[in-house]
C-alpha cells in the first residue's frame, strides 16, 4: 500500500514531512485550489508498508495529519 494526500483537505502544515521516519514526503511549491502548498508523496517505495496489503506496520503520517488528508491506496 502507499499513501496519497487529498489536496482538498490538506492545509500544508508539513507535519507529514517531518514525522515520516522514511522521508516519503517532500515539500512542494504547487498551490492547491485552497491556497496551500501540498506535499508530494515522492518516495512511496521507502514506506514501511511498501508491498504490504494487510495490517499496516506504520501509520504515523495518517494518524498525525490534523486534516485527515492522508489515506491508503493500492500500489497496483
Task: Return residues touching ligand SF4 (CB under 6 A).
Answer: 3, 5, 10-16, 20-22, 24, 39, 47-49, 58-61, 65, 67, 69-70
* Distance in Å, CB of 46 to ligand SF4, minimum: 7
* Distance in Å, CB of 19 to ligand SF4, minimum: 6
* Distance in Å, CB of 36 to ligand SF4, minimum: 7
Burial annotation 21-53 (CB, 10 A radius, 16+ → b, else e): ebebbeebeeebeeebbbbebeebeebebeeee
CB-hemisphere CA count at 13 Å for 32? Answer: 17
User: What nine digits make up the cell of 50?
Assistant: 511498501
Q: How far apart are CA 56 and CA 12, in angstroms?
A: 25
Question: Toward ligand SF4, which CB reaches closer, 40 or 76?
Answer: 40
Question: Toward ligand SF4, which CB reaches closer, 59 or 75?
Answer: 59
Amino acid at each position: 500500500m502507499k499513501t496519497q494526500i487529498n489536496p482538498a483537505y490538506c492545509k500544508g502544515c508539513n507535519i507529514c514531512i517531518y514525522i515520516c521516519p522514511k522521508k516519503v514526503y517532500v515539500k512542494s511549491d504547487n498551490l492547491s485550489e485552497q491556497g496551500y502548498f501540498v506535499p508530494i508523496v515522492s518516495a512511496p517505495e521507502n514506506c514501511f508498508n511498501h508491498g504490504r496489503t494487510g495490517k499496516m506496520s506504520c501509520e504515523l503520517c495518517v494518524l498525525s495529519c490534523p486534516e485527515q488528508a492522508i489515506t491508503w491506496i493500492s500500489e497496483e
